C-alpha cells in the first residue's frame, strides 16, 4: 500500500481554525494524505475561547500542543512569545516528522511556524500570502512568503503579488480563501442563534436580523492608543442604540487595554440593555450570526472576506485592514464615533448587498487538497510541481 503523505497544520487562534477548517476536512477524507494537527497559543487559552475544545468537538484529533503564550500583551511579550513558539514548534515538528507543514496568514505564530519548518528543511506551504494590510501583519505575511515553498493565495491580486516577489510560478496557486467555504455552506442556513445558548455577558435579547456585530482588535503598531480607539467605538454604539453582539479582542499587544475599557464600560452601564459581550463561537455559528446581522463594525478581516462574500455591510475602522482588496460592502473610516454613526446610517439604506467573490467561490479547501495530493514528495529545496 502506498504510504500517505503526512501534512501538519498549525492552528493558533480562533480565526486560524475558521480559515482552515474546510481544508482539514478535505485532507482528513483524502486517500493520499495523512493529517496531523498542532494547536497552540491563544487557541489553548480560556479567555480567548479555548478553540481547541471546538476543534476536538468537530471530530479532529489534536496531535500536539504548543504552549508558548507568555502572560502580557506588550510588544516585548509578543516578540518573546514568537521566540518561544519557534522553540516549541521545533520540538513538535521533530517529533511528528511531517512531509509538509502548513502555516496560515500573518500572525506572529505564523512566522514562528515558518522559521521552525524552514530551518528543519521541512517543506512549507503558506495560505493567504501576498496580501497588503496595515499593522505589522503585512511584514510578517511577506516574510513568510519568502520562507514558504508552496503558496495558496486567496485572490488574483495576491497571486500576482507573490509572483512579483520572485516566487516560482509553478508553486503559486490562486485557490481562494478556505474561510469562504464555510460562508458558502451556511449562506442558505435557516438555523437561529440564541444568546442563551452561546453564553457571554449582557442582556438576553432576541436576534431577529436587527443587530450588529463589533469585532475590534488592537493594532500592534499603534500600541498605547487602544483605549482611546475602543472608546470611540463604544461611544458610537451608545449613540446608535442598536442590538450589538460584541466579541472580545485577540491576543495582540494592546489587548489588555481594550479588555479593561470594555470592563469599565460594563461597570458604568450595568443597566444597558442592547450590548452583549462574549469571547468566541463555533465557526459555522459565527458565520450564521454574521449572515443574519445588519453589519459588522471594527477591524477584523472577517468584514473584508466572509462578510463580502455574504453581502453583509462592513465598517472597517482604522489602519488594520487598509490596503486589502475589498468589495462594495466595506467602508473605511477613522477612529471617530461620528464617522462610525454616519457609516452605519448610510448602510441602513440597504437590506442586503450583492456578495463578492474576490476571495473565492467557496471551494478552496478542495482545490488546496488536490494540489497537496499531486505534489512530488519528498520535496527538493527548489521543487517544481506544475500548476495544472
How high is the pLDDT of residue 378?
46
pLDDT at 69: 85
User: What is the average pLDDT score of the chain?
Assistant: 92
How confident is the model at residue 107, as a pLDDT?
A: 87
Q: Give CA angle at 330 (328, 331), nearest 5°.
A: 115
pLDDT at residue 36, rounded to an integer? 98
> What confidence score (pLDDT) does residue 353 get?
84
Average pLDDT on 184-203 reads: 91
pLDDT in tens, 278-302: 888 999 999 999 999 999 999 999 9
> Is the confidence at residue 92, as pLDDT, over 70?
yes
Q: Residue 49's pLDDT is what? A: 84
Strand partners, 18: none
Q: How many CB atoms lie within 10 A of CB 361?
A: 12
Per-residue confidence (pLDDT) for residue 136, from 0 to 100: 86
Confidence of residue 46 (pLDDT cuts 50, 70, 90): confident
33 beta partners: 5
Residues contacting 103, CB < 8 A, separation 6+: 10, 110, 113, 114, 117, 124, 125, 126, 127, 144, 148
DSSP codes of every residue in 262-294: HHHHHHH-TT--SEEEES---HHHHHHHHHTSS
Arithmetic mean of pLDDT, 357-373? 96
Residue 342 predicted with pLDDT over 70? yes
Instruction: Report the share of the chain in percent with pLDDT over 70.
Output: 96
Residue 168 confidence class, pLDDT cut points 50, 70, 90 = very high
Look at residue 388 and tell me whether its pLDDT is greater than 60.
Answer: no
**pLDDT higher than threshold 80 for residue 61:** yes
Q: Which residues contact 189 (CB under 8 A, 6 or more apart)?
A: 284, 288, 291
Render pLDDT for 308-337 as a digit per residue (tens, 0 to 9): 999 999 999 999 998 899 999 999 999 999
All structural domains of the chain, each given as residue ranges with its CATH number in brackets, are 5-177+360-374 (3.40.50.2000), 186-347 (3.40.50.2000)
CA 123 to chain centre: 23
Q: 4 vs 32, 36, 60, CA distance in Å?
A: 5, 12, 18
From the CB of residue 196, how many other CB atoms can be counted at a distance below 10 Å? 8
285 half-sphere exposure, CB direction, 13 A CA radius: 14
| Confidence at residue 274, expressed as pLDDT on a 0 to 100 scale | 96
351: pLDDT confidence band, cut at 50, 70 and 90? low
- 379 phi/psi in degrees, rounded to 5: -75, 145
Instruction: Check residue 1 and give its pLDDT.
Output: 60
pLDDT computed for residue 354 by the predictor: 86
Amino acid at each position: 500500500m502506498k504510504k500517505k503523505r503526512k501534512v501538519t497544520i498549525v492552528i493558533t487562534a480562533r480565526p486560524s481554525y475558521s480559515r482552515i477548517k474546510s481544508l482539514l476536512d478535505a485532507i482528513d477524507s483524502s486517500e493520499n494524505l495523512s493529517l496531523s494537527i498542532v494547536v497552540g497559543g491563544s487557541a489553548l487559552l480560556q479567555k480567548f475561547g479555548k478553540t481547541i475544545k471546538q476543534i476536538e468537538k468537530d471530530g479532529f484529533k489534536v496531535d500536539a500542543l504548543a504552549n508558548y503564550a507568555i502572560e502580557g500583551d506588550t510588544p516585548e511579550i509578543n516578540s518573546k512569545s514568537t521566540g518561544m513558539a519557534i522553540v516549541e514548534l521545533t520540538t513538535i515538528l521533530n517529533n511528528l516528522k511531517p512531509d509538509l507543514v502548513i502555516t496560515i496568514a500573518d500572525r506572529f505564530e505564523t512566522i514562528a511556524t515558518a522559521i521552525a519548518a524552514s530551518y528543519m528543511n521541512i517543506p512549507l506551504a503558506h495560505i493567504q500570502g501576498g496580501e497588503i494590510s496595515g499593522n505589522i501583519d503585512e511584514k510578517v505575511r511577506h516574510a513568510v512568503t519568502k520562507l514558504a515553498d508552496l503558496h495558496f493565495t486567496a485572490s488574483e491580486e495576491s497571486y500576482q503579488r507573490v509572483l512579483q516577489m520572485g516566487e516560482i510560478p509553478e508553486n503559486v496557486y490562486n485557490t481562494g480563501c478556505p474561510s469562504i467555504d464555510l460562508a458558502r455552506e451556511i449562506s442558505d442556513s435557516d438555523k437561529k442563534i440564541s444568546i442563551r445558548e452561546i453564553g457571554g455577558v449582557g442582556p438576553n435579547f432576541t436576534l431577529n436580523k436587527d443587530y450588529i456585530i463589533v469585532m475590534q482588535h488592537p493594532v500592534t503598531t499603534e500600541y498605547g492608543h487602544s483605549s482611546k480607539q475602543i472608546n470611540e467605538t463604544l461611544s458610537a454604539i451608545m449613540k446608535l442604540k442598536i442590538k450589538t453582539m460584541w466579541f472580545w479582542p485577540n491576543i495582540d499587544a494592546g489587548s489588555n487595554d481594550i479588555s479593561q475599557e470594555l470592563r469599565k464600560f460594563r461597570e458604568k452601564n450595568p443597566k444597558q440593555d442592547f450590548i452583549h459581550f462574549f469571547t468566541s463561537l463555533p465557526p459555522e455559528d459565527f458565520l450564521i450570526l454574521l449572515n443574519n446581522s445588519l453589519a459588522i463594525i471594527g477591524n477584523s478581516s472577517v468584514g473584508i472576506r466572509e462578510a463580502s462574500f455574504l453581502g453583509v455591510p462592513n465598517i472597517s475602522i482604522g489602519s488594520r485592514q487598509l490596503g486589502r482588496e475589498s468589495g462594495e460592502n466595506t467602508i473605511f473610516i477613522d477612529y471617530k464615533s461620528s464617522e462610525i454613526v454616519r457609516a452605519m446610517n448610510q448602510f441602513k439604506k440597504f437590506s442586503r448587498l450583492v456578495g463578492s467573490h474576490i476571495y473565492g467561490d467557496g471551494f478552496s479547501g478542495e482545490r488546496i487538497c488536490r494540489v497537496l495530493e499531486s505534489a512530488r514528495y519528498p520535496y527538493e529545496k527548489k521543487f517544481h510541481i506544475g500548476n495544472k
